[in-house]
Amino acid sequence: MTKYVRLDKYLADAGAGTRSEVKKMIRSGKVRVGETVIRQPEFKVASVSAKDGGDAVLLNGVPVLAQPEFVYYLLHKPKGCVSATEDRQEKTVMEYVPDSRKGLFPVGRLDKDTEGLLLITNDGALAHELLSPGKHVEKTYYAVVQGVVTPDDVQKVSRGLDIGEDKETLPGKLEILNTHPESDPPKSEIRLTICEGKFHQVKRMMHVLGKEVLYLKRISMGPLTLPENLKKGECRLLSEAEISALKNR
């Protein structure tokens, strides 16, 4: 079923200006729908562009393409910013997103000092699916920890850990990538996959094992993987294949 929206909203959502600015444009006769000049901001048009079967909306003779209802950005979150839509004291992840439309938010949280993959969207239903504890969406992290991680630690993680909550963590997968027992202090490089999102979960799990996280980076979430060529602080739209994989995982 085709969804219809007000003409001023269509133009504002497409980036033609603020709601008040596009109202002035419409009333001044700068907007056509098809061959007809429309001067009523409340005039209803299809929410999709003409190429997708909607109305041909033109501003000063130039076609204005409708924005999709939902957008999906993949951000390589750097350190030093918080996973929030706004914050009075801290820089937020939204400052890295090249889109000023309302309703965008980060899906889940990465700590201020944690880097890596973060999904930004306005699709609340998909966000709920990804964050719901019952869905068990896998998240994989690369970490450098203080201390030597052992095969015994791997087994403990695979069984679940008591991190001070009502229930133990669900079984996770801990991989030892490298150990540096000769360094001062000794360090290990690990990859950890979990399917929960408890507060500071990775750091708390490592603490229970007698290790402390020195560096943490999320490298995947569900079917999404952080691209190697996406630099810290860079953000890009998800491909159609990535969106499909998220929705049909």
Residue of 226, 246, 139, 227 whose CA lies nearest to 191? 139
Task: State the Cα–Cα distance between residues 133 and 246, nearest whole angstrom.
Answer: 16
Does residue 59 contact residue 7 with C-beta atoms inside 8 Å? no
Give 59-64's long-range contacts (Cβ < 8 A, gap of 24+): 59/11, 59/16, 59/25, 59/30, 59/31, 60/30, 61/32, 64/10, 64/11, 64/14, 64/16
Please name the amino acid found at residue 203: K
**Among the options 13, 111, 123, 166, which is catalytic?**
111
Task: State the Cα–Cα distance between residues 118 and 97, nearest whole angstrom.
Answer: 11
Q: What is the DSSP string of 80-115?
A: T-BSSS--SSS-BGGGG-S---TT-EESS---TT-E
55 an active-site residue? no
Q: Tokens at residue 85, please?
A: 């839509």
Kindly list the catalytic residues.
Answer: 111
